[in-house]
Chain A
Amino acid sequence: MDTTLPDASGPSRADMDATALEATTITVPRPKALVKVEEPPKFDLDTYIANYAGRTRYDRLYLIGICSPLLSIDALKGAIDEAKINKDVSRYEKAVRALAEVAPSDPDASLDAAWVQETNRYVQTQTERLEHELRGYKNNLIKESIRMGHEDLGNHHYKTGDLAAASKAYSRMRDYCTTPNHITSMLFKMVNVATERGDWMSVQSNVHRLRNSQSKPDDAAKNISKITAASALSQMHQTLYLDAANSFLSIPPDLGDTYNEVITPNDVAVYGGLCALASMNRDDLQKNVLDNQTFRTFLELEPHIRRAIVFFCNFKFRQCLDILEAYRPDYLLDIHLQRHIPQLYKRIRTKSIEQYMIPFSRVTLDSMAKIFAPTVVGGEARPTDISSPFVQELIGLIQGGILNARIDLEKGLLVSNQIDLRAEVQRNTLESLREFNQEAHWRILHAAFIRAGLEVKPDEADASEQGHGGRFP
């Protein structure tokens, strides 16, 4: 026993260590295993970031800083400034660490210990002061003061980066809200916090509450654009692209710069356009996107998205895909789009192949490859061979049931399947007749077995088995 015990405990401890290691390796690299965007994006960093307000500026700068080697130093410096202004120590440290990896010799790449200490102390005292004030208000039992006390505390936490505490403080405001306006503003604050935390379910539920809040009609009209934008964003993050597209398309044009802390009109155009491209067919795109008067104002901000959609509707898939490909680095540096770009692009591509095939009964693989795989055509000797990636992609689509066609490798054609309705009906009839007969017979017999008292019974079987057992010895 003595010898086995350490053996038994040894591996288990090792296992625990291993699992702990795994846990850390899973949690740690996830933020670092981000996409590296080598190509230069088309936007200018300063003008891009000037569009935004609030804490999202830091988030965006930091993301660009760690994903794009070209812009990393500028972006991270901007992020450090941003964190310093907001007195957010943890973010400051994070940005400095990232900068130290990229440019160790930069003067900003070392921690300003004095500032950190001072800021920590300042944040601490500020928190204590606000909490003290809040206690005072509570003793006085004045609702409005208590609400404002909570709000101040929440704002302070939010600004300095303690999001959990911020959302707790905001949710405590609820009991002390006296007018619909208070409720609306509280809910917006909670939406902002949840957006930053990436808690999309909470965004969705708060948006729902906002929609149901009973504020005055003109106030409600003012808020509707922000509400819709938040809801669309959360739908996109839950990969409900069609819902998201419809929500983006219905955002009223008066959104303007009012929601800069989360989303700009340019973003609305890009997100909405891409989601629509990925989830709608050509008719719907024409009707809901291009002919949509409210969305037109957004689209005018991002004309290339508009052009891509027009190309898609006009059957020019190569140009559409080219435009999207050209803007891929931009979108990969967007904080909300980054995760969804591969999925969205894949869907757009699949859909364009599918739409391309619709009017034809047979297409040569060469002409398809020219549109959908130009690099392959240039690079390989036999672009339409079975082993070429484009043909493999087609095979995958056919086997997945997306393309209703067959590949003719002899003539290099993609032949669409034509259904012979008559044969189909005959086959179905025969099949269902047979199935019915079979099932009916099974059921009739089932009833007959029971009626005749001939179910398989345990006692009889046991008895006979015992009989056998008795006979053999």
Chain B
Amino acid sequence: MTLLSDIISASAQLHNSNHPPSDEYDRQVRELVQYFRRLQTTKALDSLANDESFLDRFDPAIDSIPYLFVLHVQIQKAQELNADSFPADIRPSGKLWICAAHFLTSFDGVQVKYAGREWRQLIELVGQVSQAASMASATLVKDAMLRLDPSCAVFTSSHLLLVRLCLEAKAYSCALPVLNKQICHFPISLGSPPSDPSVLCADHGSGVSFMTEDSRISSKLSYRDYLQYFLYGGMVYMALKEWRNALHFLGIVISTPSTNSVSLIMVEAYKKWVLVSLLEKGKLCPPPSITTPHVAKVYQSIARPYIILAHAFERGDLKRLNAEIDAANGVWCADNNLGLVTQVVGAFFSQTVIKLGKTFAALTMVDLSKQVFPSPVSAEVTGSAVSSLIMSRDLNATLVQTKDDAESSMLRFSSIHSLPRLSHELDLQSQLKQEMKLMETMVINLGKTNHNLGLSDEYVDSLHKGQVWSGSSEVNPIVGVEAGLEMDEDLMGDMS
């Protein structure tokens, strides 16, 4: 029982101290975590492992650290007792699961920063337990991540965990709050212990400073982890048909710096990149300019069927497109891209019709189907396809049925003027604002990247000066001539 009172008094101390951020608070939290780690290693906490009432006594929002450690021990105990590594208590709706969920939805973000390793282990456990692909655990992980670091700008292993959970549970939109935050950093090892520890509990607004390798919030990362994360993220966007974002994520994967080798994940991503670029832009986009040239060559050779497909698409030849799709059917199936390929055919139709809108102001459906389809198609097929395009607002046009028959119904493409102006402008404005916000966060992150890389303004200035100096050395001949002249004068002076 003494242990319990010890813990209570230790955490009570924390309550009494000043509000964060302060050095005092920082010191106390560190001591507390040290204390618990010591208890853990000496197995002293094991006595609490079976005390079920213990967790009820603490509020995870106030006493996050004791709660987390004890919960940890209890889970370990449960795992040790049962041969099964995931006993019933831990499974969803089990006793410990409820405690964990309670903790993850209400923990104190500042305190948990000091116990990153334990927090991550809990998250991973939650992820592993829910084999039944439940949406609940995905939501838990997402909320916990946003709670710990609202900016989510640092890549951690929990990112990958979350996206995988969401894909398995088909809960695509659940991952969006995290996916939409742009990742700009990785946990870095500081080498030496931080010289200024008080920064930990300060309000940073971003996780760069506390998510270091030493904090163990993320497990050890390899390049596969983030490649997978961005590929999965792209797939989430694809499932939601947000092609632009998908393209952005795939672009990250295919432009990853590499030395002499290509990861298969990158090739997978390139295949999807080809298809998604057809869907979004109607043409084959070249890989981002920062892609390593030899990698781009590898893509060209490995993803051959995809590139041929894209060329057929660009040429606007439906017959050839269908032939290419049939010819490489095995490839699409083997790569699990059949779904995207079928969507490409749909996109081909809409792209062609939209392109016709640039040439024609109005034309009959009969003429339209002649322009789009190589072989004659019944009027109903084109009619329904076009009207579904118009209804989905992909095509800005009106379909006028003439009274005699459906054959001669007229498709009239609207010009830009006829748009409902106000809603359009509002829409544009919100989009612009969104992009602005993105750019602002990016600028902040850029500043941090510069700081991490040691690229300060002064450094750039001095580098620039150095270049000017080396540049001036080329003008030396003139200086040399002048020096020579002075020499001459000196000689003359000596003579006289």
- Using a CB–CB cutoff of 8 Å, the interface residues on chain A facing chain B are 386, 395, 398-399, 406-411, 413, 415, 417-418, 420, 423, 426, 429-430, 433-434, 436-452, 454-458, 460-462
A456 x B262 contact (CB < 8 A): yes
B359 x A406 contact (CB < 8 A): yes
Asked if B244 is at the interface (CB within 8 A of a chain A CB), the reply is yes
Asked if B260 is at the interface (CB within 8 A of a chain A CB), the reply is yes
16 A-B contact pairs sorted by A residue (CB < 8 Å): A398-B359, A406-B413, A408-B362, A430-B432, A433-B436, A437-B438, A438-B248, A440-B446, A444-B184, A446-B256, A449-B256, A450-B257, A451-B453, A454-B221, A455-B257, A458-B259
CB distance from A435 to the nearest CB of B (A): 10
CB distance from B346 to the nearest CB of A (A): 23
A440 CA to B440 CA, complexed, in Å: 12
- The A interface is mostly helix, strand or loop, or mixed, namely helix
B452 x A442 contact (CB < 8 A): no
Residues of A within 8 A of B182 (CB): 441
Q: Select one of A395, A446, A452, A462 contacting B359, CB under 8 A.
A: A395
Residues of A within 8 A of B290 (CB): 442-443, 446
A272 CA to B290 CA, complexed, in Å: 50
A436 x B439 contact (CB < 8 A): yes
Tell whether A430 pairs with B431 under 8 Å between CB atoms, given A408-B361, A446-B255, A448-B186. yes
Which residues in window 56-75 of B have CB below 8 A to A?
Answer: none
A433 CA to B434 CA, complexed, in Å: 10
Tell whether A410 pairs with B432 under 8 Å between CB atoms, given A386-B367, A446-B255, A449-B257. no
A440 CA to B442 CA, complexed, in Å: 8
A409 x B362 contact (CB < 8 A): yes
A321 CA to B453 CA, complexed, in Å: 69
A409 x B363 contact (CB < 8 A): yes
Residues of B within 8 A of A430 (CB): 428, 431-432, 435
Residues of A within 8 A of B442 (CB): 437, 440-441, 444
A441 CA to B252 CA, complexed, in Å: 9
A386 CA to B432 CA, complexed, in Å: 41
A410 x B449 contact (CB < 8 A): no
Asked if B9 is at the interface (CB within 8 A of a chain A CB), the reply is no
Q: Select one of A399, A413, A439, A456 contacting B259, CB under 8 A.
A: A456
Find the A residue at minimum CB distance from B255: A442
Find the B residue at minimum CB distance from A422: B425
Asked if B337 is at the interface (CB within 8 A of a chain A CB), the reply is no
Tell whether A420 pairs with B416 under 8 Å between CB atoms, given A440-B446, A446-B290, A451-B452. yes
A386 CA to B360 CA, complexed, in Å: 10
Residues of B within 8 A of A407 (CB): 359-361, 363
B367 x A455 contact (CB < 8 A): no
A436 CA to B257 CA, complexed, in Å: 20
Asked if B344 is at the interface (CB within 8 A of a chain A CB), the reply is no
B360 x A409 contact (CB < 8 A): yes
Find the A residue at minimum CB distance from B412: A410
Asked if B183 is at the interface (CB within 8 A of a chain A CB), the reply is yes
Encode B173-210 as 1/0 by CB contact (under 8 A) with A.
00000000011111110000000000000000000000
Which residues in window 261-311 of B have CB below 8 A to A?
Answer: 261-263, 266, 288-290
Asked if B417 is at the interface (CB within 8 A of a chain A CB), the reply is yes
Asked if B467 is at the interface (CB within 8 A of a chain A CB), the reply is no
A62 CA to B258 CA, complexed, in Å: 68
B184 x A448 contact (CB < 8 A): yes
Q: Select one of B258, B410, B415 contacting A418, CB under 8 A.
A: B415
Residues of B within 8 A of A398 (CB): 358-359
Residues of A within 8 A of B438 (CB): 437
B360 x A445 contact (CB < 8 A): no
Find the B residue at minimum CB distance from A385: B367
A306 CA to B289 CA, complexed, in Å: 54
- With a 10 A CB-CB cut-off, give which of B223, B452, B453 has the most chain A CB atoms: B223
Asked if B86 is at the interface (CB within 8 A of a chain A CB), the reply is no
Asked if B445 is at the interface (CB within 8 A of a chain A CB), the reply is yes
CB distance from A357 to the nearest CB of B (A): 14
- Known pairs A438-B248, A448-B186, A461-B261 / 12 extra A-B pairs, C-beta < 8 Å: A407-B363, A408-B362, A426-B428, A430-B432, A444-B184, A445-B184, A448-B184, A452-B188, A452-B221, A455-B259, A456-B256, A457-B223
Find the A residue at minimum CB distance from B266: A456
Find the B residue at minimum CB distance from A410: B362
Encode B222-233 as 1/0 by CB contact (under 8 A) with A.
110011000000
Which residues in window 431-479 of B have CB below 8 A to A?
Answer: 431-432, 435-436, 438-439, 442, 445-446, 449, 452-453
CB distance from A466 to the nearest CB of B (A): 14
A456 x B257 contact (CB < 8 A): yes
Find the A residue at minimum CB distance from B257: A455
A430 CA to B435 CA, complexed, in Å: 8
Which residues in window 316-368 of B have CB below 8 A to A?
Answer: 357-364, 367
Find the B residue at minimum CB distance from A436: B439
Tell whether A456 pairs with B263 under 8 Å between CB atoms, given A408-B361, A443-B290. yes
- With a 10 A CB-CB cut-off, give which of A411, A433, A444, A448 has the most chain B CB atoms: A448
Asked if B251 is at the interface (CB within 8 A of a chain A CB), the reply is yes
B223 x A438 contact (CB < 8 A): no
A439 CA to B438 CA, complexed, in Å: 13
A423 CA to B428 CA, complexed, in Å: 10
A441 x B360 contact (CB < 8 A): no
Residues of B within 8 A of A460 (CB): 222-223
A429 x B184 contact (CB < 8 A): no
Find the B residue at minimum CB distance from A437: B438
- With a 10 A CB-CB cut-off, give which of A399, A417, A440, A450 has the most chain B CB atoms: A440
A433 x B183 contact (CB < 8 A): no
**7 closest A-B pairs by CB:** A458-B261, A456-B258, A452-B186, A408-B361, A406-B361, A410-B362, A433-B435
A398 CA to B222 CA, complexed, in Å: 53
Tell whether A446 pairs with B435 under 8 Å between CB atoms, given A386-B363, A420-B416. no
Encode B406-436 as 1/0 by CB contact (under 8 A) with A.
0000101101110000000100100110011
Q: Select one of A429, A448, A452, A455 contacting B432, CB under 8 A.
A: A429
Find the A residue at minimum CB distance from B455: A447
CB distance from B426 to the nearest CB of A (A): 12
A280 CA to B377 CA, complexed, in Å: 46
CB distance from B132 to the nearest CB of A (A): 29
A454 x B222 contact (CB < 8 A): yes
A446 CA to B410 CA, complexed, in Å: 51
Which residues in window 207-253 of B have CB below 8 A to A?
Answer: 221-223, 226-227, 244, 248, 251-252
Tell whether A437 pairs with B183 under 8 Å between CB atoms, given A409-B363, A409-B364, A452-B188. no
A442 CA to B415 CA, complexed, in Å: 36
Residues of A within 8 A of B226 (CB): 449, 454
B263 x A461 contact (CB < 8 A): yes
Tell whether A444 pairs with B446 under 8 Å between CB atoms, given A409-B364, A439-B288, A458-B260. yes
B251 x A434 contact (CB < 8 A): no
A198 CA to B262 CA, complexed, in Å: 54
Residues of B within 8 A of A444 (CB): 184, 442, 445-446, 449
A83 CA to B435 CA, complexed, in Å: 79
A454 CA to B251 CA, complexed, in Å: 17
B223 x A454 contact (CB < 8 A): yes
A441 CA to B413 CA, complexed, in Å: 37
A215 CA to B454 CA, complexed, in Å: 68
Residues of B within 8 A of A447 (CB): 449, 453
Find the A residue at minimum CB distance from B258: A456
A456 CA to B255 CA, complexed, in Å: 11
A407 CA to B227 CA, complexed, in Å: 48
CB distance from B376 to the nearest CB of A (A): 15
A426 CA to B449 CA, complexed, in Å: 31
Residues of B within 8 A of A462 (CB): 261
B288 x A442 contact (CB < 8 A): yes
B252 x A442 contact (CB < 8 A): yes
Residues of B within 8 A of A437 (CB): 435, 438-439, 442
Residues of A within 8 A of B413 (CB): 406
A339 CA to B446 CA, complexed, in Å: 61
A429 CA to B435 CA, complexed, in Å: 10
Residues of B within 8 A of A417 (CB): 415
